[in-house]
Amino acid sequence: METQGSIGDWTTCSADPHYRAAVLDLLGALAYGELSAFERLADDAKLAPGLADKAALARMAAAEFQHYQLLHDRLAEIGADPTEAMTPFVEPLESFHRVTAPSDWLEGLVKAYVGDSIATDFYREVAVRLDDDTRDLVLRVMGDTGHAEFAVDKVRQAITENPRVGGRLALWGRRLMGEALGQAQRVVAERDALSNLLVGGARVAGFDLVEVGKMFNRITEAHTKRMSALGLAS
């Protein structure tokens, strides 16, 4: 992750139509990501072994929805149609969820943890390349929903109680990361403006596949470290 100074505020930056298109894509992707996270967490709540766990998942789902609302309102504020901005990202995310439906409570927790963490890494990568106003919003919705800590506690406990669970969940974590990368690469291939923003900021015009690859590598490395810390060899 490189550090760089402010590139200006939204009013200045959005005068460039490429920049504007990239931010609409980014906010649309994040907004649908939050709405989708809401749905998955609400679904996982059903698998909860007890009422307290169910309520904990529902609480996180409600927090994701609040993030969605902020992104939605921002899209409307800058004159975009939120539904239109989200639409290109519906199919990639739904495809991901279709092929990675958790078969039990623990798989659901690992998936939510992995998903949240990848999203946070991704936000961090992109935040430094954004205008001040968009960056403030992205950092705000990146705020922890308490999910990570909850999932880590429950998964560690389950592995302690039954070490064989670890092997199964390690495999699951690997599969999740593979599918996530596959879908992300699909999005990158289809959304030029967004991809340019990801790798070079507003000032880079050419599409740099090598830079995109490096970003994915950084995210994969962070994932690997997290899985190890969780007691899951990835």
Q: Which residues bind its own copies (CB under 8 A)?
A: 32, 35, 38-39, 42-43, 45-46, 50-52, 54-55, 58-59, 61-62, 65-66, 68-69, 72, 82-83, 86-87, 90
Q: How far apart are CA 151 and CA 112, in angstroms?
A: 8
Q: What sign does the CA torsion over 36, 40, 136, 127 have?
A: negative
Nearest approach, Cβ of 104 to its own copies (angstroms)? 18
Residue number, 62 or 189, with CB nearest to its own copies: 62
Is residue 232 classed as helix, strand or coil in its secondary structure? coil
Amino acid at 12: T
Nearer to its own copies, 35 or 194 (CB): 35
Start-end of H helices in the chain: 10-13, 17-45, 51-77, 82-99, 105-127, 132-141, 147-161, 164-190, 192-200, 209-229
* Cβ 68 to its own copies shortest distance, Å: 7
- Rounded CA gap, 104 and 48, in Å? 9
Residue closer to its own copies, measured from CB, 115 or 173? 115
Nearer to its own copies, 145 or 195 (CB): 145
Distance CA 192, CA 199 (A): 11
Taking the complex as a whole, the smallest distance from the CB of residue 58 to its own copies amounts, in Å, to 5
Report, in Å, the least distance between residue 41 CB and its own copies: 8
